[in-house]
Amino acid sequence: MLKLDSVKFNYETQDFEFDFDLAGGRCMAVMGESGSGKSTLLNLIAGFLTPRSGAIYYGNQRIDQLAPHQRPLTILFQEHNLFNHLNVYQNIGLGIRPSLKLNESEKQSIHDALNKVNLAGTENRLPESLSGGQRQRVAIARCLVRSRPILLLDEPFGGLNEELKSDIKVLLNQLKKELNLAMLWVTHDPDDVEGIVDEAMRLEHGKIITLINKCVGETLTAPATNLKDNPRNQPK
């Protein structure tokens, strides 16, 4: 389980505070206006920003004191971040070792990941020869070979049409369940996560103001449970 325990951060005059947990096999959407704190939240979890106070845990392990590469997570960005001069196999292999000096088990994991994202046989193709949806699937495969239990998604549907979005969403939902991933998905469009999200938060001015729990029948476009009266979310 990913847990943020009263994590506080300051940037210029803006205060941020996050307190929530997310179990494996569940997807939480993070929504809010530009500047509400969505990217700040991901950067704190990933280790690109340092909290002023509070702690971040995965299970019983405190991870906010670890370097970014040591944390049990991987990130799927809005842009697929593939290197155009490297083929599919090499782009995925970078997720394991930047040197690309892979052992037999690691090489096999690349083929296994390509099978999972339905791209077997594309190992030698360059990114420019792939469709936008295929390139994003390669990026997902690169996440898979890292074998991390937390997946952070930063607007991963940028530039994809509705059909491709639907295909990628089905794939991510399958992987979430199969691999018991804790998925935190930043989005500005509720439709992007409909059908895969289990719960969601809305941010405003750096704080969680609402929580949506799909398990109790709430929808992303319906009024959400207000957290301002929840003792967990009162300033400490």
Domain limits, the chain: 2-72+150-233, 84-147
| pLDDT at 55 (0 to 100) | 97
What CA–CA distance (Å, rounded) separates 76 from 227?
A: 28
What CA–CA distance (Å, rounded) separates 88 from 102?
A: 15
- Residue 180 tokens read as 């018991």
Per residue in 193-236, pLDDT (tens digit) is 888 889 999 999 999 988 777 654 455 544 444 433 443 344 33
Q: Residue 207's CB: how many other CB atoms inside 10 A?
A: 20
What CA–CA distance (Å, rounded) separates 128 from 228?
A: 48
The stretch 116-126 carries a mean pLDDT of: 92
| pLDDT at 188 (0 to 100) | 84
If we measure between CA atoms, which residue out of 167, 20, 137, 151 comes closest to residue 73? Answer: 151
What CA–CA distance (Å, rounded) separates 72 from 148?
A: 5
What CA–CA distance (Å, rounded) separates 168 from 156?
A: 9
Per residue in 84-110, pLDDT (tens digit) is 999 999 999 999 988 999 999 999 999
Give the confidence band of 161 by pLDDT, cuts at 50, 70, 90: confident
Secondary structure letter of residue 60 according to DSSP: T
| pLDDT at 214 (0 to 100) | 62
Secondary structure letter of residue 102 according to DSSP: -
Q: Contact at 8 Å (CB) between 110 and 92? A: yes
Kind and range of the H or E element at 178? helix 162-179
Is 173 in a helix, a strand, or coil? helix
CB-count exposure of residue 186 (10 Å: 0-12, 13-18, 19+): buried
Amino acid 51 reads: P
Q: Contact at 8 Å (CB) between 45 and 4? A: yes
Fold assignment, 2-72+150-233: Rossmann fold (3.40.50)
